[in-house]
Structure 1
Amino acid sequence: MPGSRPSKLRIAVAVARAAATAALSRRRPEPEAPPAAVEPPRRLAHPSAVTLPVPVAADRVFAVLVNPARMPDWLLQHAGWVDGPPATFAEGVRFRQRIRLMGVPSEVRWTVTGVVEGRAVFFEGTAPMGITVGFYLSVTPAGEKTPANGDGSILRFDGGVEGGSADGPLGPMVARNLADAMRKSLTELGQVAADHESDPESPRDRAREGRGWGVKPGPIRIERTGEDVDAWTPVIVGVGQVSEHSTEAAGGDPVSLAVRALRSAAQDAGSADLLSKADLAGYVASVSWQYQDGAALIAEAVGARPDRTVQTTIFGGDGSLRLLNDVAAEIAAGRAGIALVGGAEAASTAAAAERAKQPLDWPVQDDGAEPTRTIGKNAQANNDPETAAGLVAPIFLYALIESAVRGRLGQAPREHLDRITKLWAGFSAIAERNPHAWQPTAHTSAQLATPTAANRMISTPYPKLLTANLQVNQGTGIIVCSAAAATEAGITQDRWVFVHAGAHATEEWFVTERADLASSPAIKAVGDAVLGHAGVTIDEVRHVDLYACFPSAVQIAALELDLPLDDPERLTVTGGLTFAGGPGNNYSSHAIANLVPLLRADPGSFGLATALGWYLTKHAATVLSARPPVREFRDIDADPRMPRPPARRSLASYTGPAVLEAYTVPYERFGGPAPAIITALTPAGDRVVLKLPEFSEMSELLAESDPIGWQLDVTGTTVTVTGTTPVDLPPPGEPPLIVAWHGPVTVLTLNRPAVRNAIDLTTARALEKAIDAFEADDQARVAVLTGSDTVFSAGMDLKAAARGEYPVTEGRGLLGITARPPAKPLIAAVEGAALAGGCELALAADLIVAAEDAVFGIPEVRRGLVAAAGGVLRLAQSLPRSTALEMALTGEPMPARRLHELGLINRVTSPGKALATALELAAGIAANAPLAVLLSKRIVDEHRDWGAAEAFDRLSDISGRVIGSADAQEGIRAFAEHRTPQWKGR
């Protein structure tokens, strides 16, 4: 990938040389005609074709082309293997792959339809919506020598799409997009081939195939403590920081600042040549100047040739710790030995150039450049009510949250302002001691509380000096090694700081849909995860840096982590984003760079850094210490089992009573206050989000009073106060889905009794989110989906659908599950009626347990509909034709006992016992080897697509994955030793 092969500039130079050689050769006798191109086996209805000359010999290109392990390196549309890469590309081989069509990852079932030795390989596959895809790839010797690589060659792609939805207007668009994407992929193929290493067991190839980074050395002895650590234990060996106050554009772009910081980190490590040895490079995406693959540019600048590059998503202050934790996990798994982590912003220079109307001549990469991986999550930042109210910038939302924090703490406005300005004054004193701080000037509480020209009001209660300062030029460099690589590089152990644990989690995405504006279950979850894995309590962590963009963020984090609210020395080591500086996504890298020297000087202590993105939305944390870890490093996804309170509905309009929850008054940049923004809670627990009229009476009351808890009457945007004695805030309503965990079994309970568990959009989204979490949960083996004692589900909520709220989710389709059920086993536990969509929910499960008085039916035909969420299809696959037709054509329900006799239902129980029996069945499945269970399920699900001639070959392909697995070896050992197996899932 970019950075691991010759740069595109070098390839371009080689191409130019090849063209010059070709021009000179025209004066010589004509060479022997090259072989004719291999013609594709057929032409699809919507064809794509690309031809590209490359200065690389045809045999070298073909060697890469037919190597499945190398396909992800050059096929830029590759988004992952479904079952791992095939062993070879030989005629008749089948495999499943996720590729991006029109930028959307889609699963394609491929068959290798032909191989012409040394010349071509043909793939045909079936994509979603019945689309057939053709990839016909060939390479032909160009018959001309190139200075760099000998004979050049002509790469050719023929293919396209047809069938299904591609036979409409979509087809030509997909074909054009495919041609554009394949042109970039063929360019990449030429680069890979130019740098192809013939040794199939080289460390780089081993890493790409996921087999690890060679043989692990023996443990490393830590001289200070006498302990041994695993050779692949991740350690930070060098940190560097840059704060560049010059706004000269030359050499001042973010990557250049990060490179300067990395060179400083190499000096800090005491190894000047360490940078060039890196085999993994990561970059915290910058906002002030965006690069397609910033890590590749960093690697090129320091002379490194990493196998992989990693970059964070474009928005998110959690990215810096997500990246650090990610590279630490790669090192701990043996997939890297030396990793570079760079990040920077040059917003101050960019702003100066904009004011001077001067263009910035900073690096721009080719369209095809992209990192090997992008980590983090991005989505729409605001929902419609927030957008309508003007809550579209961090300052407004954090100011709104600040008032909710004040309400949680029970403080009056003046008392609360005094407290947060004292807190921020303490932060400024710490920044004054920080040699890398952007504004190293201490301020008093009074100075921070007083609006002036330099400290203008932004949004109550915040003047400017209580907000993040993003207009900085700052960069960091962090070098992470395995203990073995650090030892081999000669880095003395007094420079080592161990990365003990990392974790990340995501809050309810939209702020106004959260149960409580002044709390953060996600911060608590990541804190519990990292501290628990590191084996320490928060009181044992001496050095802490909380992400400090606004006072509300610091206070909420302190409350969730059980840290003091009013002790700046306990909460930051940098001074925070106001004074130390807020370089876009990269602030927490500066926190790490400040923690490392503190931990070296205090080697028995621990450090904790937190990071967040968007509006207290995305969170990450990392625990560090110079003390060796007690457990192998883990980057923990804390989302799957994070306790989540019910979400609230966010409303842009409402009529009725409500209780004022939070508020802020934004200020014009060169003027007075703008219309106030409030949130109010309805008796049902919904949240109303309103921008008040410009000169409303309510706006004046907000400025003069303490209105939290006041009773209101809301009509559109008109708000009338009906009571000023504060009352408790209404709690959120009952969640439509309850998630519980019984060890390895996840239980999902539909919880809409008033509408017989009918599925609306909110419930469908909750189901999709719960299934996604179940799939991501390493501890979860089986899920059980159930309803109440009297009804499983009445299907789609027709009243909601009549309002235009159809229960269709982007990832799993109708009802939040039926288009893409989980790969892990799912059991439906059915009491009462499972009708229409409720029946389809049950049929989406792998196994069904039903009470003997339960009934199943698809009555859609009675309403002029078809059971399109898989009901007719799955009944036809599971029942005799006549029975399936009876249910589909009459709409009459059928009792559980009859369906059990026909094999649709696995177990029938007495009424009220379906869930208990399902849990027993789930426990029996969960006790078995996870990998073996998943592959057995795959065979059952996929065997209908196999012809008789290939069935046992496909069976061998799938089952062969478990033969040498760790679980298979554990199962044999456990049997011989008469003990319960300890499965690893691999």
Structure 2
Amino acid sequence: MPAPPPVVEPPRLLSRPWTLSVSVAAPPERVLAHLTDPARMADWLVMHSGWPAAPPGALVEGGRFAQRVKLMGTPVEVRWTVRGLSGRTVWLDGTGPMGIEVGVYLSVAPSDGGTLVRLDGGVQGGPTDGPLGPMVARSLTEALRASLERLARADFTGPSSGSDRTLTLIKREKPGTIRHLRTGREIDPWTPVIVGIGQCRERTTNPAAGDPVSLAARAMESASTDILIEHNLVTSADTVGWVASVSWQYPDGAALLAERVGARPARTVQTGLFGGDGPLRLVNDLAAAISRGESRIALIAGAEAAATAAAAERAGKPLDWPTQPDGTAPTRTLGTDREPNNAAETAAGLVSPLHFYALIENALRRRDGLSVAEHRKKITELWSRLSQAAAGNMYAWLQEFRTPEQLATVDGDNRLVCAPYTKLLAANLQVNQASALIVCSAEVAREAGIDQRLWIFPHVGAHATDEWHVTERADLTRSPAIHAIGRAVLDHTRLTIDDIRYLDLYACFPSAVQIAAAELGLPIDDPERPLTVTGGLTFAGGPGNNYAGHSLANLCFRLRHDPGSYGLATAVGWYMTKHAATVLSTDPPVGEFRDIDADIRLHRPTRSVALNADRSGIVEAYTVTYRRDGTPEAGIVTEILDDGSRVVRATEPLDGDPFDDTPVALPPPGEPPVVVEWHGPVTVIRLNRPAVRNAVDLATARGLERAIDEFEADPDARVAVLTGNGPMFCAGMDLKAAARGEYPITEGRGLLGLTAEPPRKPLIAAVEGAALAGGFELALAADLIVAAEDALFGIPEVKRGLVAAAGGVLRLARSLPRATALELALTGEPMPARRLHDLGLINRVTPVGKAYATAFDLAVSIAAHPALAVLLAKRIVDEQGDWTSAEAFDHLSEIAGVVLGSASFDLPKAYRRADRERS
């Protein structure tokens, strides 16, 4: 029989007590160390959700610390005091929001072959003394019971807390500032710092020499050695980030890397499957987590073994590299991907990065008015300068300087691949390379004794996305997204581009470098400030998604040797599509690190695109693809038609230069199908196809989805108004486009770019004229409808043998009496706004022409209220239909508790406001 539980006499008994126990197959000392180790808290305590301040490295009697927990699904902050501490017991007193008091008495005792763990305690005060009390106590007890059950299944075979391999920091609360010795400035202890830098290049293609994770582990070992201290920060990391590899795909590469280097992180993060922006997105994301106190030590790595994989494929030998069980996934995946090509691009053979960047290259030549020879000279001189940087980079794949003449010469080693590019003007992906960074807080760096001369501060990061499909961009030679991220990082750091001494622009193809330099205001031929310190993806090597990981490593080395200087890295994903930037320096930042989403309020002009239109236009760009023997294979041409649309044509290989004549100006793009306006907290989204009664085609659906996504992400946007330009709100789906196979369905929000997933924030539809078919469904997807008195609403799909497939019939059935919903669905005849207002579907009916103004005023009145209260009230209305009577008030209390648990909630102030309103 197990030993009886220890006698527990907590110094204070709270009004709603509990007593729980569980047997654990491990010695008491190890169990108690596990229970009181903040780094292991997330492993067993199901309520734990993070630390708002520095986590305590060890509990000390009298010590104080803050913890984030979830109570009834609501995130709240509890401030703990360690009242008592011995070899077998821990007594904690805590205070939460609104005067809630919690007491926890934890004790361990030897049992048969293990340990009996007992939790005693209770809760009182604030709302727990009222009608919510039993619910709070029950929820807390169930969470603790689940925690003990998880503890019973825990693995106690690993290294114990305080092992020699682990750096232990004893901090009870966020410490004071840290003095930066060289500059004399005081810095926040949670300032992120890059302290370890490592790279690896493996020339052999023997599979035993390493899969990507093995290469990354070697780079991480180099990064650990780079720190020059006794403590091993690698094994102490709480977060591991992995840049997804292409040559061998791991479900959770970060977990494999952590296992290989001896780390036991609480979180793993992996970038999306494809995208050279991944390394900077990952560094920026984890630096921001460190600055918020959510992480202390993060490992970041990426690697490719593409040269080995290609050699194995040529030899017909399978690769016996690590795999992971089905269902394995990282804690979080960073970034998103979608289909990279639209139908017109695919049909024309425009399908690979080489094709797109070559097409863009010739668009640049046309814009600049250069001959073929002049343009070749320009890009080979640019690429020669990159080879010079690679020649001095010990980790570069091709460490050889190439002259412009060598790069321009077509021969067996430099064959034409896609005009105007030869092999040595294109990215080289068949490499075996890895990079690794160790990033921590300044507090950790100081406590570990890392020499400040090794510290590199990330100052700011930013990311943005251009129009996803290349041929839908208004101008192939511009990148609004690069311009936006450049402006964002410079504004945040209060620098100009001239203040940046070291640069590493993402250099997969010459067109990418030229566009980035232009958007950032950089000359491409400044001998005093080259555009790379790494060498570009041709010469330094293009390790799948991870080139920018090497950019960061090389920038850090340069900055260490030039204290006080600044460095800027940029990165690109897909076809000049996804962009990221990071600014670094040995000088500490002037403010808190930020990872800026520059997508918000970014203007991206677009063109509509078609395949092989029966009309001719002005040749905008072209390329020719070549076979491996150097013979031309096919041509691809884009033309701009008189109406500003673009056509993509697959052609025979072009004979001669289509730009021989003096280039004429290209017709401007047409009006965008969706227009967004920002008016303080109110975002206005306008369907902008009045010529076709605002019918929704694929471009419109995508534009609407993006507008909703950015409205959701915009911290300053509270309410949106959806309306239409012209006399009609929306006639529904564009049937002509659908007949061409162009259906308005988006990956994220479904049919019409909205109806499958309306926004969480309030959306108001302002309807003039009519909302028919899909137009009615868009209005029904909104939270409120304001309509002009002559507006008509209907779902005429039944007349065409169809059903309103975007949720219209379902939403009508839930919102209207059954007979009315059936009348609309079965007859297809429209109903006037006034009747639907009387039935409660429409909120307000206005004079003709006043629907938008009324909807806007309604949005302003909603936006004036606290945002969290508005969101949660909307959530209750949206979700209550799925609740049973028995559970309704539990759900209601859980949701309302989010407001009550928020730091901004002031209960006395709320009561005073209510009294004023009643009077």
Which TM-score applies when normalising by structure 2?
0.79
* CA shift for structure 1 position 969: 4.9
- Residue 794 in 1 paired to residue 763 in 2? no
* CA shift for structure 1 position 975: 9.5
Matched residues in 2 for 1:948 and 1:973: separation?
A: 28
* CA shift for structure 1 position 913: 2.9
Q: Residue 174 of structure 2 corresponds to which residue in structure 1?
A: 216
Q: What SS does structure 2 have at the residue aligned with 1:194?
A: coil
Q: What SS does structure 1 have at the residue aligned with 2:668?
A: coil
> 1:67/1:861 Cα in 2 relative to 1: closer, same or farther (>3 Å)?
farther
> 1:674/1:536 Cα in 2 relative to 1: closer, same or farther (>3 Å)?
same
* CA shift for structure 1 position 356: 4.4
Q: Residue 261 of structure 2 corresponds to which residue in structure 1?
A: 302
Superposed counterparts of 1:140-219, under 5 Å: 193-195=153-155, 215-219=173-177
Deviations 1:250-308 (A, max 9, x none): 33322222112112212222235121111111111222223232222222222111111
* CA shift for structure 1 position 851: 2.8
Matched residues in 2 for 1:692 and 1:149: separation?
A: 77
Residues 56 and 194 in structure 1, CA contact (< 8 A), matched pair in contact too: no
Matched residues in 2 for 1:971 and 1:525: separation?
A: 44
Matched residues in 1 for 2:413 and 2:151: separation?
A: 53
2:304 aligned partner, one-letter code: E
Matched residues in 2 for 1:197 and 1:773: separation?
A: 47
Superposed counterparts of 1:842-857, under 5 Å: 842-857=779-794
Q: What SS does structure 2 have at the residue aligned with 1:500?
A: strand
1:421 aligned partner, one-letter code: T
Q: Residue 864 of structure 2 corresponds to which residue in structure 1?
A: 927
Given candidates 240, 256, 261, the residue that maps to 2:198 is 240
Q: Residue 339 of structure 2 corresponds to which residue in structure 1?
A: 380
- Residue 255 in 1 paired to residue 213 in 2? yes
Residues 467 and 606 in structure 2, CA contact (< 8 A), matched pair in contact too: no
Superposed counterparts of 1:880-891, under 5 Å: 884=821, 887-888=824-825, 891=828
* CA shift for structure 1 position 763: 2.0
Q: Residue 505 of structure 1 corresponds to which residue in structure 2?
A: 464
Given candidates 649, 655, 666, the residue that maps to 1:700 is 655
1:955 aligned partner, one-letter code: L
Residues 233 and 332 in structure 1, CA contact (< 8 A), matched pair in contact too: yes
- Residue 460 in 1 paired to residue 419 in 2? yes
1:284 aligned partner, one-letter code: V
Q: Residue 435 of structure 2 corresponds to which residue in structure 1?
A: 476
* CA shift for structure 1 position 956: 1.0
Structure number with the bigger relative contact order (C-alpha 8 A, sep ≥ 6) is: 2
Superposed counterparts of 1:428-827, under 5 Å: 428-567=387-526, 569-651=529-611, 653-693=612-652, 699-701=654-656, 705=657, 707-708=658-659, 724=661, 726-827=663-764
1:700 aligned partner, one-letter code: D
> 1:196/1:928 Cα in 2 relative to 1: closer, same or farther (>3 Å)?
farther
Q: Residue 937 of structure 1 corresponds to which residue in structure 2?
A: 874
> 1:891/1:285 Cα in 2 relative to 1: closer, same or farther (>3 Å)?
closer
Q: Residue 280 of structure 1 corresponds to which residue in structure 2?
A: 239
Residues 931 and 967 in structure 1, CA contact (< 8 A), matched pair in contact too: no
Given candidates 294, 306, 323, the residue that maps to 2:282 is 323
Q: What SS does structure 2 have at the residue aligned with 1:348?
A: helix
Q: What SS does structure 1 have at the residue aligned with 2:655?
A: helix
Which TM-score applies when normalising by structure 1?
0.74
Matched residues in 1 for 2:695 and 2:789: separation?
A: 22
- Residue 311 in 1 paired to residue 248 in 2? no
* CA shift for structure 1 position 362: 3.0
Residues 240 and 298 in structure 2, CA contact (< 8 A), matched pair in contact too: yes
* CA shift for structure 1 position 868: 4.5
Residues 149 and 194 in structure 1, CA contact (< 8 A), matched pair in contact too: no
* CA shift for structure 1 position 787: 0.9
Matched residues in 1 for 2:819 and 2:731: separation?
A: 25
Q: Residue 130 of structure 1 corresponds to which residue in structure 2?
A: none
Deviations 1:359-411 (A, max 9, x none): 44433333343322222222223333333333232222211111011112222
Q: What SS does structure 2 have at the residue aligned with 1:691?
A: strand
Superposed counterparts of 1:131-146, under 5 Å: none
Matched residues in 1 for 2:183 and 2:732: separation?
A: 63
Superposed counterparts of 1:16-415, under 5 Å: 87=71, 193-195=153-155, 215-272=173-230, 273-415=232-374
Residues 68 and 87 in structure 1, CA contact (< 8 A), matched pair in contact too: no
* CA shift for structure 1 position 970: 11
* CA shift for structure 1 position 588: 0.7
* CA shift for structure 1 position 972: 5.1
Residues 345 and 351 in structure 2, CA contact (< 8 A), matched pair in contact too: yes
Matched residues in 2 for 1:974 and 1:573: separation?
A: 61
Report the more deviating stretch, 868-877 or 553-562. Answer: 868-877
Percent of aligned pairs sharing the same letter: 62
1:338 aligned partner, one-letter code: I
> 1:195/1:970 Cα in 2 relative to 1: closer, same or farther (>3 Å)?
farther
Residues 74 and 894 in structure 2, CA contact (< 8 A), matched pair in contact too: no
Residues 64 and 193 in structure 1, CA contact (< 8 A), matched pair in contact too: no
1:916 aligned partner, one-letter code: A
* CA shift for structure 1 position 65: 12
Matched residues in 2 for 1:231 and 1:479: separation?
A: 17
Report the more deviating stretch, 223-232 or 353-362. Answer: 353-362
Q: What SS does structure 2 have at the residue aligned with 1:610?
A: strand
Given candidates 820, 824, 846, the residue that maps to 1:909 is 846
Residues 508 and 647 in structure 1, CA contact (< 8 A), matched pair in contact too: no
> 1:56/1:892 Cα in 2 relative to 1: closer, same or farther (>3 Å)?
farther
Matched residues in 2 for 1:147 and 1:64: separation?
A: 26
Residues 809 and 821 in structure 2, CA contact (< 8 A), matched pair in contact too: yes
Q: What SS does structure 1 have at the residue aligned with 2:764?
A: strand
Matched residues in 1 for 2:783 and 2:735: separation?
A: 27
* CA shift for structure 1 position 971: 11
> 1:907/1:264 Cα in 2 relative to 1: closer, same or farther (>3 Å)?
same
> 1:691/1:494 Cα in 2 relative to 1: closer, same or farther (>3 Å)?
same
Matched residues in 2 for 1:500 and 1:64: separation?
A: 30
Deviations 1:104-161 (A, max 9, x none): xxxxxxxxxxxxxxxxxxxxxxxxxxxxxxxxxxxxxxxxx999999xxxxxxxxxxx
Q: Runs of 5+ in structure 2 lacking a partner?
A: 2-23, 32-40, 51-67, 76-110, 117-148, 163-170, 914-919
* CA shift for structure 1 position 880: 5.0
> 1:279/1:795 Cα in 2 relative to 1: closer, same or farther (>3 Å)?
same
Matched residues in 1 for 2:452 and 2:906: separation?
A: 37
Q: Residue 9 of structure 2 corresponds to which residue in structure 1?
A: none
* CA shift for structure 1 position 612: 0.8
> 1:70/1:700 Cα in 2 relative to 1: closer, same or farther (>3 Å)?
same
Matched residues in 2 for 1:594 and 1:217: separation?
A: 32
Q: What SS does structure 1 have at the residue aligned with 2:632?
A: coil
Q: What SS does structure 1 have at the residue aligned with 2:591?
A: coil
1:840 aligned partner, one-letter code: E
* CA shift for structure 1 position 945: 3.3
Matched residues in 2 for 1:661 and 1:276: separation?
A: 55
Q: Residue 946 of structure 1 corresponds to which residue in structure 2?
A: 883
* CA shift for structure 1 position 345: 1.8
Q: Runs of 5+ in structure 1 lacking a partner?
A: 1-30, 32-54, 73-83, 96-144, 151-188, 203-212, 711-723, 977-986
Deviations 1:302-339 (A, max 9, x none): 21111111222222111111111121122122221111
Matched residues in 1 for 2:882 and 2:518: separation?
A: 55
Q: Residue 60 of structure 2 corresponds to which residue in structure 1?
A: none
